[in-house]
Structure 1
Amino acid sequence: MFLTVLCLQFIVKVLSEAPPAPPQNIHVDRWLMTWTPATEAGGVTHTVQYSSFDSNVWTDVPSCVRTPASECDVASTQSGAEHGCVMLRVRAERRGLTSVPVEACSRHGGGCTPEVSLTARPGYLTVHLSRNHSLAREHADHAKHRVYYGREGEPLREFKEGVASVTIEGLQVGRRYCTQVRYLYFSDPVGLPSCPRCELIPESGKPSGQTWIILTVALFFLATLSVGIAYVLAFRCGSIKQFLRETRYHIPEDFLLEPFPDGHHLAAACEERYDVISCVSPREPAGARRPLLDPPPSAGDVAPSFLLPVLDSEPGGEDGPETSMGWR
């Protein structure tokens, strides 16, 4: 009778016992996976599992099955996966009961996790993403980003997809919103998602925290540059002048009088060519007199370029040859 009561109490205790709470803060940093146990109660172990993007099967990591530790080296899981990209998760176990598995995220971007940066504006949050990654180079626009977002402290259930950067609209000003990004191949998740990042949506006219950081860095750079220039002008001006005097280049006096190198000669000027133009007039009969000037040429004739006076001598009578003057 006593044994029966003990067995009944044990069965009731086992049936009424709840499964352990899932672990928290699950991160992967350089293939070292760490987590925080949800309870300090004894008897709780953890099991780590992995899966590649082309498979829906989750496989236990051999070195991290029911381990009492809170970390696991998962570098061996990438050897059999395409591109070395795997998804990782961990669950808590106690007395045969298991918790809900929780997926890990990566703190650093890389070939399997997107690089993420945020810019907040009134009512908007821009998630800056790059399309220059290994999956995009191989699969083009079939490789996308899925951006999960939501208010801080709430589950990230809503999402948008895009090849590159994504802008989320209609956000409430004065509230913090968080995002988490992962790669997609068609509609299948690839690799580890980025760890959530949060940003405050500023009110209109108020710059965000990132804007203040940029302004501060720019002002500091300008102030440092101004101080450096003032120091050089005040205390190092003479040194600079002395350095310039010592390093200046002197042009030799015979710089422009040096002979041409061998094989190079000045070309001689070519003689100018010209054509000889002459005009020949027919000889008039003896005794004929020509006017001093010829009549102007008609429209169909071609005027001579120039006329020259010519003395014609003809054999005459007893008084000797007759001389006449004309134009040629």
Structure 2
Amino acid sequence: RVPEEEWHYVCGCNQPQFNFTAASEDFYGRIFRIRTETTNQSSAWIPSEQVLCEHTATCSPLFNLTVKSDKVYLWTGHKDQSLKREFGGHIVFKALYWKEDQISNKQEYYVGGGTLKIEGLKSGQKYCFQVVYLAYSKLYGRPSRVLCQVIPISPAQENIQIIVVGILIVVVLFGFGVCLYCFYKNYKKVKLFLQPPLDIPEHIQKFFSEELPHQQLVSNGTQELELDNNVMYVSEDTRKEEEDRSDAVL
């Protein structure tokens, strides 16, 4: 049990030893008690020491984050001091961090404890952090939980973004105004340019390109009229000559 909680039954065992580290449950912080039993007799309960990290391989490091613009302060610590007593300076923390969408590209730091400052992080990006134990350069225990945080934008960067956005808005409005003015000044040219060309439909062109029957009649009538005029002209000359001859005879 955990101190100040009820006792929980684990097992009735015949063997003199039981390996709790092989169980899936995390027994860290628990206290065990044991007694022997026969058919009609039982001994008094004998309590164990509280389970510490040195007694189990399921301990994970403690860590916390303090996030500021372009940097993170990562604090690491032990659940208890038993691992330091067990391994001394050979137990260290391995801090990992990565961008949320780039889990395969993890960055590593090795620290003995305390606070680690991680700089050079991009503002507005989301980073994830995790800490694991290394004992004699090998992984030990369980990894810590994963914490993901968005790196905030600094006040200076925020002011720069506001200025840039304001300039872009002014430029866009100015360009829009210039376009409206040019359109107003050249409205007729623009209208003429956008007007579609006047093309005679193909069936009408075909209609006028063919020779119509009445055109031939008109042509024949014109030729006959010219012939009649010639005939009339010759008749007048003949009549004048005849009149001149008559006057000469008289």
So what's the TM-score if we normalise by structure 1?
0.30
> Quick one: higher RCO (CA 8 Å, sep 6+), 1 or 2?
2
Indicate the structure with greater strand content.
Answer: 1
Indicate the structure with greater helix content.
Answer: 2
So what's the TM-score if we normalise by structure 2?
0.39
